[in-house]
Amino acid sequence: MPRIELKNVSKRFGKIVAVNTTNLTIEDGEYLSIVGPSGCGKTTLVKLISGVWESTEGQILIDGKDIANVPTEDRDLGYVFQGIELFPHMTVWENTTYAPRVKDWPDEELVKTGEDSLRLVNLLEMRETFPGQLSGGAQQKTGIARALATKAKLIILDEPLSALDARVRIDLRYELRRLVKRLGLTAIHVTHDQEEALSVADRTVVMKKGEIVEIGTPRQLYEKPRHIFTANFVGEGNFLEGSVKRMPGKWCQIELRNEQFLFVPPMDVTEGDALVLFTRPENLKFCKDFSTNSVPGEVREVQFMGSFLRYEVMLATDDPVLVDLPIQHERVYAGDRVMVEFNPIDTLVFERPPEGLREVLRLE
């Protein structure tokens, strides 16, 4: 049963630090996703686990055993990666049963495993088809079946859906989670797509510049991120710079630009501290009353988003914010003056980052 531990693992390519002193434990049966922008080290990290690369420092343990000297083929893992390369001259069946054949499994076991794997991805009927005749989604499913047919208990998915159309990707991510859970596998799924990372996983790791920023359940990371980078990366949000004005007991009053004020729950800060307030667009509302926890602004644009409307509002603080509201509410139009209400419970507070807010929020 695979439980994977990374202890102070680093990987350097020359002077470039791809992964920096990383510690991570993946429990048996867990579906873990790793997300981060291009170049954050997420793919390198799983290549260290799979044995494609050797770590420069640190230890990787699978079930307590150091795997430093275990070659890739003996690590007992299935691997699926972006734009999976199937053997073009082999049928779906031959591709799927490749590992069992190479490992010389008895016929009966080979056939059963191959059939089981293809049945799981709904491709058993396509067993005699060649990859060139398959859609992108079906090719990727064949790749998944091939990984399952190794009977490995650990499956590594490196951008398994990135080459596919948006819609196919959404359908397949459901399938992936279902399969992994049904078979009781441990899965590590690397993606640059924050929504995919949240939707498939039990826990998600957010990486940046070779380091783990934060680990948590998808809900924790989205609703209560502990780091400002996570808040911005796993979904859209509003960030307002301010400083602590005073703390009259129950609430903490924050002064924003242009003499605007908001209240947030009390916390461990002192007057004058520089902060960043953060809310998700769906946690903001319009209100009519000046007395509530609100900031005035002007609607710049209204966007239809399918199940909701998105308002771009320029606040009196010179901060642009997004406000997502259900379609049914009273319509507001571009140019309208509004009061934007901040619910103190959903408003998170971060220390103002020393490198500046813009730098932390940069996505490229």
**Least gap, CB of 36 to other proteins (angstroms):** 9
The verdict on 224 binding other proteins (CB under 8 A) reads no
Which one of residues 7, 151, 192, 203 is an interface residue with other proteins (CB under 8 A)?
192
The three-state DSSP-derived secondary structure of 53-107 is: CCCCEEEEEECCEECCCCCHHHCCEEEEECCCCCCCCCCHHHHHCHHHHHCCCCH
DSSP 331: P
Q: Does 30 bind other proteins (CB under 8 A)?
A: no
Q: Judged by CB, which is closer to other proteins: 127, or 173?
A: 173
226 binds other proteins (CB under 8 A): no
Q: What is the DSSP pairing of strand 238-246 with strand 274-279?
A: antiparallel
Among 196, 214, 255, 319, binds other proteins (CB under 8 A): 196
The least distance separating other proteins from the CB of residue 296, rounded to whole angstroms, comes to 23
Does the footprint of other proteins cover residue 218 (CB under 8 A)? Answer: yes
What is the signed CA dihedral for 301, 304, 308, 312, rounded to 10 degrees? Answer: -10
298 touching other proteins, by CB under 8 A = no
The DSSP H or E segment spanning 311 is: strand 308-315
CB of 177 to other proteins, least distance (A): 7
Interactions with other proteins, residue window 319-348 (CB under 8 A): 324
55 with 13: CB under 8 angstroms? no
108 interacts with other proteins by CB under 8 A: no
Residue 76 burial (CB count, 10 A)? 15
Cβ proximity to other proteins: between 248 and 335 the closer is 335
Cα–Cα distance between 221 and 230 in angstroms, integer? 7
Question: Could you say whether residue 278 binds other proteins (CB under 8 A)?
Answer: no
Residues 143-172, interacting with other proteins (CB under 8 A) = 165-168, 170-171
Binding flag, residue 195, other proteins (CB under 8 A)? yes
* Identity of the residue, 14 or 326, whose beta carbon is nearer to other proteins in the bound complex: 326
Half-sphere exposure of 24 (CA within 13 A, CB side): 30
Verify binding: residue 306, other proteins, rule CB under 8 A.
yes
Binder of other proteins out of 93, 113, 280, 294 (CB under 8 A): 280
Rounded Cα gap, residues 70 and 50, in angstroms: 10
End-to-end CA distance of the chain: 39
Binding of other proteins by 199 (CB under 8 A): yes
Instruction: Considering the complex, state which of residue 89 and residue 181 has its C-beta at the smaller distance from other proteins.
Output: 181
Q: Which residues contact 15 (CB under 8 A, 6 or more apart)?
A: none
Place of tokens 């911005």: 232
Q: Which stretches of the chain bind other proteins, using CB under 8 A? A: 37-38, 135-138, 165-168, 170-171, 173-174, 177-178, 191-196, 198-200, 218-219, 222-223, 233-236, 280-282, 303-307, 324, 363-364
